[in-house]
């Protein structure tokens, strides 16, 4: 079932979300200061490709001081807008019964988009 969900996810916009995450991640990696943020965008892009059957969970020793600080900088720089878009898409998909699984994936991605540092994909 998760394979079918992932295939439908890709067809209905998941590939576009992942490509945007990857392209913005590449642009962030141009400068040395942006590399940690680009790495988080790559992680979110990978999660956006195959969200069904995977979870974003805290790392083994997280949240630590560095990840909390980086998450604060992430939010202050305006990356919370990504989470707002995922919340909007999640609400849009949850209008119909058939769209609820995709809406729930967007809600999970919104949480990961607000606090990406210290998270791992499992």
Per-residue pLDDT tens digits for 93-115: 999 999 999 999 999 999 889 99
**Residue 51 near residue 104 (C-beta atoms within 8 A):** no
The residue assigned the tokens 């999640």 is 90
| Alpha-carbon span 55 to 14, nearest angstrom | 16
**Residue 87 near residue 76 (C-beta atoms within 8 A):** no
Per-residue pLDDT tens digits for 23-74: 999 999 999 999 999 999 999 999 999 999 898 888 887 778 888 899 999 9
Model confidence, pTM: 0.90
């Amino acid at each position: 079932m998760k394979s079918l969900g992932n295939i439908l996810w890709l067809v209905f916009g998941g590939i576009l979300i992942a490509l945007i995450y990857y392209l913005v991640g590449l642009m962030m990696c141009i400068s040395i200061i942006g590399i940690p943020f680009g790495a988080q965008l790559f992680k979110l892009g990978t999660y956006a490709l195959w969200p069904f059957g995977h979870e974003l969970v805290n790392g083994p020793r997280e949240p630590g001081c560095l990840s909390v600080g980086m998450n604060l900088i992430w939010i202050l720089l305006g990356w919370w807008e990504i989470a707002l878009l995922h919340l909007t898409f999640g609400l849009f998909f949850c209008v119909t019964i058939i769209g609820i699984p995709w809406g729930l994936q967007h809600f999970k991605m919104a949480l990961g988009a607000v606090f990406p540092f210290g998270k791992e994909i499992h």
